[in-house]
Structure 1
Amino acid sequence: MNRREEIAESLREVEERVAAACRAAGRERSEVELLAVTKTFPASDAALLADLGLTAFAENREQEARGKVGEFDALRPAAGVRWHMVGQLQRNKARSVVRWADVVESVDSERLVAALGKATSNALAAGERSAPLEVLIQVGLDESPGRGGCPPEQVQSLAEVISRTSDLRLRGVMAVAPLGGDPVVSFDTLSAISERLRRDHPEAGDVSAGMSGDLESAVAHGSTRVRVGTALLGGRRLISP
């Protein structure tokens, strides 16, 4: 089996899982976006996924993503895909990330909001991007500082800061289920936070939650975007820079 056939088979299996999860939750399949997490995999794998119909891809390290997006664009210049940044982002990487990312899902502090807002405005003025930056608030659902995330009680205030920042567009929330925890509890918590957020920010309806191991639970609790890497692409193929 060549790489294209391998990826096609994995995609078919993931699509079946997502469709089954939607049916079980009484939802339409169109309500849940499949985001392919291509971290540590080559641009050629992303190109194969694009050939198979995927249009949304995610990276978690800015340095790796920067080169990969350029390679992908050279391989598939007319693909029209969107790139998401889903990993923790340092403020000093804001200028670089806004040059390739359509969406940053890991916004968790006012200082990062300020850095991204400034970088996006400058990039628009310089012709380095053509649209505002869409952002999601990463909600911290555990006590591990190394995983990032805004404390749940600060989500509303951070949303207000984003909404006042030129050239940023708040689209919703993102979270990672805590290691060793019950994903049902985590996704239920995130769902409640999302519901509160939408009362004041109805445009912020995205809920990015669920990965290869827990996407069914996330879909059952309202996720609108599942981030899948391992189930699509297998074990790591590259060493991240």
Structure 2
Amino acid sequence: MSIEQGLRRAIASGNLDVHYQPRVDLADNSIVGVEALVRWRHPERGLLLPTGFIAVAEDCGVIEALGRGVLQRACREMLEPVRAAQARGTDFHVAVNVSARQFLGADFVAEVKATLDETGFPATALELEITESMLQRAEHSLKIINGLTALGVAVSIDDFGTGYSSLSMLNALPINRVKIDRSFIVDLPGSSNQRAMVEAIVTLSRAMHMLITAEGIERPEQASALQALGCQEGQGFLFGKAMPLAELSDRLT
């Protein structure tokens, strides 16, 4: 109850921050995008990670307002870095996590369009991350993803391999990217089983024309193994933790 009440106040007063974790090209370690991650500046407990409050936000019904706020803020704050990258002739994507309640809401596509219109953020630079569990209602999910695709927004599957995706479902949905869960790379390059799993995911993704990002990279040898296996992008503490906008801006200049 205390977390719920505090969250409602934080959303209303703007005490939620957005930090950004770099996504890099494994070929040269250049930053090619970021993932926007919410943080709560709690008045007593300090800076809280999502694991400390997201489940409560979902249970008490404020996750949709929280998600909208994060999307709007990420689009506002990352507009100039994206424009700068486009001026250099390079692509730069901003990924934002979407909750099941937010994604499956009746007005989700309209809300995304309204945010893009309000902020001026280019749709082609936005990537919305969903989990495999959101795809179980295949017909409804297809309608939403088609609506986002019509806007120019990309959709990726976060933590790929840990949920319940079926090949027929992936074949039916226009998914742009899969993000390989860190549980498949934590023991690379030593684990032959993990190498086989990553190789299978890469082969499947390429055959279905989906891009690939590996999550949770912490050691150089993991990055080297993933690049050798065909992963284009990586994300993890090796390249940087989620950081405030000012710190990210220093990295980008």
- TM-score, scaled to structure 2: 0.50
Rounded to whole Å, the distance in 2 between the matches of 1:44 and 1:161 is 35
**Matching residue within 218, 232, 235 for 1:208:** 235
Q: Deviations over 1:157-188 (max 9, x none)?
A: 222222223xx31322123xxxxxxxxxx722
Partner of 1:136: 179
Rounded to whole Å, the distance in 2 between the matches of 1:207 and 1:139 is 11
Partner of 2:158: 105
Unaligned runs of 5+ in 1: 20-26, 122-131, 144-150, 176-185, 210-217, 233-241
Partner of 2:74: 49
**Matching residue within 79, 82, 86 for 2:121:** 79
Structure with greater strand percent: 2
Q: Which AA in structure 2 matches 1:187?
A: E
Residues 110 and 86 of structure 1, relative CA distance in 2, 3 Å threshold: closer
Give the alignment of 1:30-179 within 5 angstroms.
Answer: 31=31, 33-37=33-37, 40=63, 41-54=66-79, 56-67=94-105, 68-77=108-117, 78-81=120-123, 82-85=126-129, 87-89=131-133, 91-93=135-137, 96=141, 98-99=145-146, 100=148, 101-108=154-161, 112=165, 114-120=167-173, 133-140=176-183, 152-153=194-195, 154-165=197-208, 168-175=209-216
Q: Which AA in structure 1 matches 2:205?
A: I
Superposition RMSD in Å: 4.4
Aligned length: 172
Q: Which AA in structure 1 matches 2:194?
A: P
Cα offset, 1:192, TM superposition: 3.4
Q: Percent identity?
A: 11
Q: Deviations over 1:67-95 (max 9, x none)?
A: 44531322432422413325453651455
- TM-score, scaled to structure 1: 0.51
Partner of 1:182: none
Q: Deviations over 1:198-232 (max 9, x none)?
A: 2242xx321133xxxxxxxx0xx236xx667xx78
